[in-house]
Amino acid sequence: QNENIRCLTTRDHFGFECLPTQLVTKSLQKGFTFNILCVGETGIGKSTLINTLFNTNLKDSKSSHFYSNVGLKVKTYELLERNVPLKLTIVKTVGYGDQLSKEASYKPVVEYIDAQFELYLQEELKIKRSLADFHDSRIHVCLYFIAPTGHSLKTLDLITMKSIDSKVNIIPLIAKADALSKSDLQRFKSNVMRELISSGIRLYQFPAYDETSAQASASVENENHCDLVKLRDILLCTNMEDLKEQTHTYLYESYRSNKLQKLGFTDVGPDNQPVSFQELYKAKRQEFYDQCKKEEAELKQRFMQRVKEKEATFKDAEKE
């Protein structure tokens, strides 16, 4: 009686373990992006470090020491390593620290970081958005080059890092450290870290996913030894995706929420109940319309008043 009944046998293989492979394939087809901001004085070694980090010669024109204002030089490179494409954008300061006004030195850096957040936000708010094809220019990490004075940080260093620590992942580097002896370098590192902590400046914290990355992070934080190879490993090999995730999840979200709150948007109403974006938009639109009508009425009233004053002046002139 049961000969015609179809039986399905269970298998121990369903296929969803291939999901990571699908993600890898899709990511390789799309490619990766990474944006680095290098902040430091002219001639401090920004280009040399970048060339060494990526083991290539990223052609770049030399910068002059005579700039009236701080500028930012933006260059994008297409790199390929073992069939893994990377669109690398390097942003370098030009003329940084040459101005008498400290605000003139750090303000362009802050404005550039905010401008990239704003570009992404504007694309996000479009009705027809294309974030998949949008070139994400948000800065993922800031390599801050510290002059090897051997004493302490400059006031400009503290002001700049304090101004951008909520907008970008900061990794401070002592430039041309070979100019200092080992004892002076260790003392200088201790002074720098003490000043950063006392000033409340937030630096990028390297996560420890596994034993290998934990050892790499410990080597960088160790004041006794820290070389370029370990910096390259923790920056590119183990923490590049974390830097990008921190930029999007925390830094950009903070900028986005602050910007929308300034525009008057909120998640809850006066009764502490959720408010839909559409309802809030309609309310803001009506508020803006009412304000325009009010200003228009005031302008008409002022215009009519001036007309009456002119008419009275003309009548007096006619009488004379």
Q: What is the per-residue pLDDT across 128-170, written as a single tens digit (0 to 9) for each?
A: 888 888 889 999 999 999 888 877 788 899 999 999 999 999 9
In 10 A of CB 118, how many CB atoms?
A: 14
Q: What percent of the chain has pLDDT over 70?
A: 86
How high is the pLDDT of residue 275? 67
Segment 79-106 mean pLDDT = 86
Tell me how far apart the alpha carbons of residues 260 and 279 are, in angstroms, rounded to a whole number. Answer: 15
How high is the pLDDT of residue 300? 92
How high is the pLDDT of residue 31? 86
| Local structure of residue 132 (DSSP, 8 states) | T
How high is the pLDDT of residue 282? 79
Token pair 């008409």: residue: 300
- pLDDT band for 89, please (50, 70, 90 cuts): very high
**Mean residue pLDDT across the chain:** 83
* Alpha-carbon torsion (168, 171, 176, 180), positive or negative: positive
How high is the pLDDT of residue 220? 46
**Higher-confidence position of 98 and 314:** 314
Segment 106-118 mean pLDDT = 94
Please provide the size of the chain in residues. 320
In sequence order, the 6+-apart residues with CB closer than 8 A to the CB of 26 are: none
- pLDDT band for 51, please (50, 70, 90 cuts): confident
Strand residues in the chain grouped as ranges (E): 32-39, 71-81, 84-94, 141-146, 170-174
Backbone angles phi, psi at 7, to 5 degrees: -110, 135
| β pairing state of 170-174 and 71-81 | unpaired
Q: What is the per-residue pLDDT across 197-247, written as a single tens digit (0 to 9) for each?
A: 999 999 998 876 655 555 555 564 454 545 678 888 888 888 899 999 999
Q: Residue 143 in contact with residue 52, Cβ under 8 Å?
A: no
How high is the pLDDT of residue 235? 85
In 10 A of CB 96, how many CB atoms?
A: 26
Q: Is 199 helix (H, G, I), strand (E, B) or coil?
A: coil
Q: What is the per-residue pLDDT across 260-269, written as a single tens digit (0 to 9) for each?
A: 888 777 777 6
- pLDDT band for 253, please (50, 70, 90 cuts): very high
- pLDDT band for 1, please (50, 70, 90 cuts): low
Amino acid sitting at position 88: L
Segment 254-264 mean pLDDT = 87
C-alpha closest to that of 31 among 140, 136, 122: 136
Segment 16-28 mean pLDDT = 85
Of 21-30, 67-76, 152-161, 226-235, the least confident: 226-235
In 10 A of CB 158, how many CB atoms?
A: 17
Strand residues in 125-220 grouped as ranges (E): 141-146, 170-174
How high is the pLDDT of residue 226? 52
How high is the pLDDT of residue 255? 94
Segment 23-44 mean pLDDT = 89
Tell me how far apart the alpha carbons of residues 311 and 253 are, in angstroms, rounded to a whole number. Answer: 58
